[in-house]
């Protein structure tokens, strides 16, 4: 089968493209711009068009898979439909894949990638050889067993395409309000989703919205940070900081137990887990002769920012810490404005942040309301925070500001879900702690902790 993927440079669609190729299909795709992901796809022998054109769609294509971020007006999508080629969104394509597997879905507004990758690592260590599709790098693996681990996204209620055998529910929060409207509607959508689960639900009892949704559900197994025995056990072995990661690990441990994996194996896998791409990813960086610690982090929602700041304060209580934050989309910044202000006002007093730099809002053209764009800006966010240690800087001025004001041994966190991560490259970042989880069972030396 010949498959064309629109938006192939995205994490989810690129994962599907790789899986299709591994299964013997001929795969090609397109994206608006080149990236590390498109370069890697080309190395794998997948043809990638840069730029979207109707001419990229040939009559002999059997299936078009497109990112949900692709607008209806996309010339390739329009051409494919005109040629009556079968078209599936990324979520629909993943749902088709899941029908042939025992599907373990991880959902919630925060912690999905980490929790899913922890579970995948446990299954690999247990010899269960899973397939997985997770919203990070490495974001995919083709296994030979029946098990499939997926990150089931709440954006546009995409997870309603799935009917998982096991659902892990990390949290329910106000997020994606541009398409999910409000918390009442979010709860309604999750209520529909949990009704589609074929087996058990593993859910976070520390989240009030989850408790409200599932308190009387007999197929739900709850986990909580109040479970001191498991919490203390995990705190002693985890290499990733923060209470949110203890919670993620609790979810993974409970999933392992439900699948019949021993605690010994599960804890061995969790004990060597070092996180995934852009989740508290640590390294060294330099500007001229100035050397400092750099942390790249995906946090872009107030709840995620608070969790990252707590982890930062926990791991580096005595070090001076800077945040460089890029708000992600005007609509999120507008709808959650007061929550962003609250968490950043506490940055110094509660989390010990020395300096907060906020740069221009990252946006995806065609997906934002112009009316909202006119109402919000990074400058307004800084003005509302109203702290002397918070300032706005255009992206192209950040490096020079750091060079002038930063001191050796200080820590800079590059935070946000947009293009801000590229600033790490500009600062000559050198990764010192390998992230990710094993793609195969551990060796004896790795089990002893020799993973550096």
| pLDDT tens figures, 49-80 | 999 999 999 999 999 999 988 888 999 999 99
What value does the mean pLDDT take over residues 149-156? 92
423 and 288 in a common domain: yes
What value does the mean pLDDT take over residues 437-450? 59
At residue 342, does pLDDT exceed 60?
yes
Please report whether residue 55 resides in a domain.
yes
112 and 40 in a common domain: no
What value does the mean pLDDT take over residues 85-101? 96
CATH of the domain at 195: 3.40.1190.10
Better pLDDT: 445 or 416:
416
**Token representation of residue 227:** 């479970």
Report pLDDT digits (tens) over 315-324: 999 899 999 9
**Token representation of residue 346:** 């506490």
Q: What is the dihedral angle through the alpha carbons of 214, 114, 65, 201, rounded to the nearest 10 degrees? A: -20
Taken in order 187, 188, 189, 191, the sign of the CA dihedral is positive
Report pLDDT digits (tens) over 187-228: 999 999 999 999 999 999 999 999 999 998 999 999 999 999
Give residue 437's pLDDT band: very low, low, confident or very high (50, 70, 90): low
405 and 369 in a common domain: yes
At residue 439, does pLDDT exceed 90?
no
**Token representation of residue 204:** 């976070």
Report pLDDT digits (tens) over 343-363: 999 999 899 999 999 999 999
Would you give the DSSP letter of residue 144?
A: S
Please report whether residue 365 resides in a domain.
yes
Q: Residue 329 in contact with residue 311, Cβ under 8 Å?
A: no
At residue 432, does pLDDT exceed 50?
no
250 and 372 in a common domain: no
CATH of the domain at 18: 3.40.50.720
Domain boundary among 63, 90, 117: 90
At residue 175, does pLDDT exceed 90?
no
Q: Residue 125 in contact with residue 441, Cβ under 8 Å?
A: yes
Give residue 450's pLDDT band: very low, low, confident or very high (50, 70, 90): very low
Picking from 8-12, 145-149, 235-239, 434-438, which range would have the lowest pLDDT averaged per residue?
434-438
- Beta bridge partners of residue 390, listed in sequence order: 356
Predicted pLDDT at 188: 97
Q: Residue 174 in contact with residue 211, Cβ under 8 Å?
A: no
Q: Residue 12 in contact with residue 135, Cβ under 8 Å?
A: yes
Predicted pLDDT at 323: 97
Q: What is the dihedral angle through the alpha carbons of 59, 63, 65, 70, rounded to the nearest 10 degrees? A: 30
Better pLDDT: 240 or 445:
240
Residue 71: CB atoms within 10 A of its CB come to: 12
Give me the percent of the chain exceeding a pLDDT of 70. 94
* Structural domain total, the chain: 3
At residue 94, does pLDDT exceed 80?
yes
Please report whether residue 450 resides in a domain.
no
Task: Give the three-state DSSP class for 382.
Answer: helix
CATH of the domain at 411: 3.90.190.20
What is the distance in angstroms between the CA of the first residue and the CA of the last residue of the chain?
42
Predicted pLDDT at 136: 83
407 and 271 in a common domain: no
**0.75 cut: is pTM over it?**
yes
- What is the enclosing helix (H) or strand (E) of 233? helix 228-237
Give residue 447's pLDDT band: very low, low, confident or very high (50, 70, 90): low
Domain boundary among 90, 115, 137: 90
190 and 129 in a common domain: yes
285 and 266 in a common domain: no
Please report whether residue 96 resides in a domain.
no
Please report whether residue 448 resides in a domain.
no
181 and 209 in a common domain: yes
Per the listing, tokens 């918390």 go with 183
Q: Residue 336 in contact with residue 354, Cβ under 8 Å?
A: no
Task: Give the angle 119-125-126 at the CA atoms, nearest 5°.
Answer: 90
Domain boundary among 90, 116, 141: 90
Report pLDDT digits (tens) over 263-293: 999 999 999 998 888 888 888 888 878 888 9
413 and 317 in a common domain: yes
Average pLDDT, the chain: 91
285 and 271 in a common domain: no
345 and 298 in a common domain: yes
Please report whether residue 262 resides in a domain.
yes
What value does the mean pLDDT take over residues 304-321? 93
- Pairing label, strands 281-287, 290-297: antiparallel
Give residue 452's pLDDT band: very low, low, confident or very high (50, 70, 90): very low
241 and 377 in a common domain: no
Q: What is each CA distance from 438 to 5, 137, 280, 443, 444, in whole angstroms?
A: 28, 12, 18, 10, 13
What value does the mean pLDDT take over residues 115-139? 93
Q: Residue 270 in contact with residue 118, Cβ under 8 Å?
A: yes
**Segments forming the whole domain that contains residue 18:** 2-90
Hey, which bits of 102-247 come out as E strands? 102-107, 131-133, 140-141, 147-151, 166-169, 200-204, 220-223
Please report whether residue 447 resides in a domain.
no
At residue 440, does pLDDT exceed 90?
no
Please report whether residue 56 resides in a domain.
yes
């Amino acid at each position: 089968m010949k498959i064309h993927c629109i938006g192939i440079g995205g994490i989810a669609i690129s994962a599907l493209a790789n899986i299709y190729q591994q299964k013997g299909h001929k795969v090609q795709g397109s994206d608006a711009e080149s990236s590390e992901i498109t370069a890697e796809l080309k190395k794998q022998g997948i043809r990638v068009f840069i730029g979207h054109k109707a001419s990229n769609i040939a009559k002999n294509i059997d299936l078009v898979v497109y990112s949900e971020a692709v607008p209806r007006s996309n010339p390739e999508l329009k051409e494919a439909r005109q040629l009556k080629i079968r078209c599936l969104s990324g979520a629909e394509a993943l749902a088709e894949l899941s029908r042939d597997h025992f599907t373990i879905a991880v959902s919630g507004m925060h912690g999905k990638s980490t929790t899913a990758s922890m579970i995948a690592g446990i299954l690999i260590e247990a010899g269960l050889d899973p397939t997985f599709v997770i919203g990070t790098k490495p974001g995919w693996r083709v296994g030979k067993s029946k098990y499939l681990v997926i990150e089931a996204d709440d954006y546009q209620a995409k997870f309603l395409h799935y009917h998982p055998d096991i659902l892990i529910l990390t949290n329910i929060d106000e997020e994606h309000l541009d398409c999910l409207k409000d918390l009442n509607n979010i709860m309604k959508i999750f209520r529909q989703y949990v009704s589609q689960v074929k087996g058990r639900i593993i859910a976070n009892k520390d989240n009030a919205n989850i408790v409200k949704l599932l308190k009387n559900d007999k197929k739900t197994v709850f986990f909580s940070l109040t479970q001191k025995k498991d919490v203390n056990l995990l705190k002693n072995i985890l290499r990733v900081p923060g209470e949110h990661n203890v919670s993620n690990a609790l979810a993974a441990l409970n999933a392992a137990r439900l699948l019949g994996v021993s605690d010994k194996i599960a804890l061995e896998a969790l004990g060597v887990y070092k996180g995934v791409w852009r989740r508290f990813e640590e390294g060294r960086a330099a500007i001229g002769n100035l050397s400092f610690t750099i942390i790249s982090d995906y946090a872009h929602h107030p709840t995620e920012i608070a969790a990252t700041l707590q982890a930062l304060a926990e791991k580096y209580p005595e070090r001076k810490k800077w945040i460089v934050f890029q708000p992600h989309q005007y609509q999120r910044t507008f709808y959650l404005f007061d929550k962003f202000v609250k968490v950043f006002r506490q940055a110094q007093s509660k989390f010990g942040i020395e300096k907060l730099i906020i740069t221009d809002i990252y946006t995806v053209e065609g997906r934002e309301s112009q009316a909202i764009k006119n109402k919000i800006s990074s400058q307004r966010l800084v003005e509302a925070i109203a702290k002397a240690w918070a300032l706005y800087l255009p992206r192209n001025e950040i490096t020079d500001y750091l060079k002038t004001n930063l001191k050796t041994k200080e820590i800079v966190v590059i935070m946000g879900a947009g293009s801000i991560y590229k600033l790490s490259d500009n600062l000559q970042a050198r990764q010192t702690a390998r992230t990710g989880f094993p793609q195969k069972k551990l060796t004896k030396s790795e089990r002893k902790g020799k993973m550096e």
